Amino acid sequence: MERKFHVFIDIPSELEAALIGLPLPTWELDGSFVAKATMERYRIELAATPRFEETTATLRHALTGKGGGYAVLRLGNLAKALGSDDRFLRLATGFAAGVAVPFSPFPRWPLWKDIGVKVDKDPGKSSGIGYNAFHMDLVNAGLPPDYTTLLCVRPDPLGGGPSILSDAHAAVARLSENCRALLAESAYHYGTFFDLFGVGEEYKPFPILDGEPGEGFVRFTAKMLARSELGQAHADAARELAEELVRGQVSFMLQPGDYLIVNQRRFLHGREALHSGQENVPVSDRRLLLQLFLRAGTGDGSAE
Ligand SMILES: O=C(O)CCC(=O)C(=O)O
Ligand SMILES: [Fe+2]
């Protein structure tokens, strides 16, 4: 498909130079959301830097324009200049705030949640070492985060783990009508749900096609195929969708400082397996991402 926008977005050098010296304050939280006062302060500080508005407009267009749905902001030079400390995280939060309101659905976790590598974990789940199949985050929440974002601190030093993205609505459009009808039935469930903020109530069972054709969430995780008990016909339909997602996938390796933002109403995401031999890599050298979620709209929960 021809893309009329940039998926990989470089930061203009004059903007980088200005951002390195920009003293953004620590963010405040209001419940699980970044506070309005912080949003406003970041907006004002960042709007005064050269080409910030233009860069975030490009970003928003990549995320919400026709055919779009994900983008990678290349923050590697800023990461190098600032180290992966709070000053760098505040700038990344500032870019995120240019898209929607950052929040943490997990009350026990900080705003940015570590996704490291754990050799003992279920290999197909977050922070596992295996293939992390196509999914949306918080698939069983009444109101999943509008955006999920992943900031790469360190790629796999052994060279594995490219990110995978697929246009969910394009995949659905390639399925038969019969298959789509099955996916539109409330016959699917996945995972547990407890102690979550800002994402509504548990949705169980849910339809995978949740909304008008071509719009809304495609509530899918390929992990349900192996981990949830589903009726045969519904499972077969879900498997066909999983295959179409793979057929349409793009993949790329996140570099240090790359910030992947995914519009969960458009694209599903996942990750190829890490390279074998992770048990021999010291924990402090292993791949590390930081995850942050965004809510479009006011962010004060009124959207629920
Ligand atoms: O490790 C990755 O690149 C993706 C992780 C992910 O999608 C998740 O934890 O939800
Ligand atoms: Fe995810």
182: nearest Cα among 128, 260, 241, 102: 241
| Residue whose C-alpha is closest to residue 268's, from 69, 71, 135 | 135
Whether 234 lines ligand 1, by a CB cut-off of 6 Å, is no
- Mean pLDDT for the chain? 94
Report the nearest-CA residue for atom 2 of ligand 1.
271
Q: How confident is the model at residue 250 (pLDDT cuts 50, 70, 90)?
A: very high
Dist. CA 24–CA 22, nearest whole Å: 6
Q: Ligand 1: does its nearest atom lie under 6 Å from the Cβ of 271?
A: yes
At 132, list the tokens: 């992390």
**Residue minimizing CA distance to atom 9 of ligand 1:** 126
Q: Is residue 264 within 6 Å of ligand 1 at its C-beta?
A: no
Q: What is the residue type of 116?
A: G
How far does the centroid of ligand 2 lie from the alpha carbon of residue 126, in Å? 7
As given in the structure block, the two tokens for residue 48 are 């005064």
Across the range 93-114, mean pLDDT stands at 96
Q: What architecture does CATH give domain 8-295? A: 4-Layer Sandwich (3.60)
Q: Residue 60 — pLDDT band, cuts 50, 70, 90?
A: very high
Asked if residue 265 has its Cβ within 6 Å of ligand 1, the reply is no
The model's pLDDT over 167-182, given as tens digits with 9 standing for 90+, comes to: 999 999 999 999 999 9
CA 132 / ligand 1 centre spacing (Å): 7
Beta strands at 8-10 and 70-74: parallel, antiparallel or unpaired: parallel
Pocket lining: 191 vs ligand 1, CB cutoff 6 Å: no
CA of 160 to the centre of ligand 1 (A): 13
Q: For 4-15, write each residue's pLDDT tens digit.
A: 678 999 999 999
Domain map (residue ranges) of the chain: 8-295
Helix (H, G, I), strand (E, B) or coil at 263: strand
Give 11 Cα–ligand 1 centroid separation in angstroms.
Answer: 24
The structure's pTM equals 0.96
**Helix (H), strand (E) at residue 261:** strand 258-263
Provide the pLDDT for residue 4. Answer: 65
Query: Is the minimum distance from the CB of 132 to ligand 1 under 6 angstroms?
Result: yes
Which pLDDT belongs to residue 71?
A: 98
How would you classify residue 119: left for phi > 0, otherwise alpha for psi between -120 and 50, otherwise beta?
alpha
Q: How far is the CA of 127 from the centre of ligand 1 (A)?
A: 7
In the predicted model, is pLDDT for residue 154 greater than 60? yes
